[in-house]
Amino acid sequence: MKKKILFVVTSHDKKGSTGEDTGYYLGEVSHPWEVLHKAGYEIDFVSPKGGTPPVDGFDLKDPVNKEFWENKEYKNRIDHSMTPSQVNPKEYSAIFYAGGHGAMWDFADNKELADIASKIYENGGIVAGVCHGPAGLVNIKLNNGKYLVDGKKINAFTNEEESEVKLTDVVPFLLEDKLKERGAEFEKSGLWQNHVVADQRVITGQNPQSAKSVGEAILKELNNK
């Protein structure tokens, strides 16, 4: 089996009715990508609509963002992201949901993506996410009928962080609350602190500051397998 990881990015480009632009958060793709790419993993991209996903947090002063953005192969891959129907879950040893506020609108209810993640997990793979990326985890169900996050330690963008960016009343739901509803044992640190938790092949990080650490935790788990 090839060493392949599937990155999920949002197709949604507006923060609710605010008119503000959003998309996938560049650093939450580039930092895990750097860790996993350097370790010899091939990365594919999927988004709910396929094609070129909108990007947020576009900061090329971050050298890792710059490295990713100027890597012709991977820039081409993300700009031609697959649709869920083009993905063969058997090819991947992990799936990683990148954040960015857009994820709150098009990850949770995407049954095709949840099905892909469930198959990767049931096949012994890893399911991961950072910041708002774990919105993709809230409706993943396993063969036993339980939610993936039920009874597991999980971490994501917190209610306090959502309040801090003044989007509590804009997002369709509060991610921390929804994960708890699904039975997750939610862990968190203070605002913008690097916090990553790994539990039974599910790896989650709190915010953009946690992105690299999520990549490192995925790599560690892959090396343990």
**pLDDT tens sequence across 36-93:** 999 999 999 999 999 999 999 999 999 999 999 999 999 999 999 999 999 999 999 9
Distance CA 152, CA 182 (A): 10
Residue 9, φ and ψ in degrees, nearest 5: -125, 150
Contact (Cβ atoms closer than 8 angstroms) between residue 83 and residue 46: yes
**Catalytic position from the list 34, 131, 161, 195:** 131
Which among 12, 31, 37, 132 is annotated as catalytic? Answer: 132
Given a cut of 90, is residue 198 above it in pLDDT? yes
Q: How confident is the model at residue 94 (pLDDT cuts 50, 70, 90)?
A: very high
Q: What is the pLDDT of residues 120-175, one digit of tens each?
A: 999 999 999 999 999 999 999 999 999 999 999 999 999 999 999 999 999 999 99
What is the mean predicted confidence (pLDDT) over 3-17?
Answer: 97
Task: Give the pTM.
Answer: 0.98
- Interatomic CA distance for residues 104 and 23, integer angstroms: 10
The answer to whether residue 132 is catalytic is: yes
131 is catalytic: yes
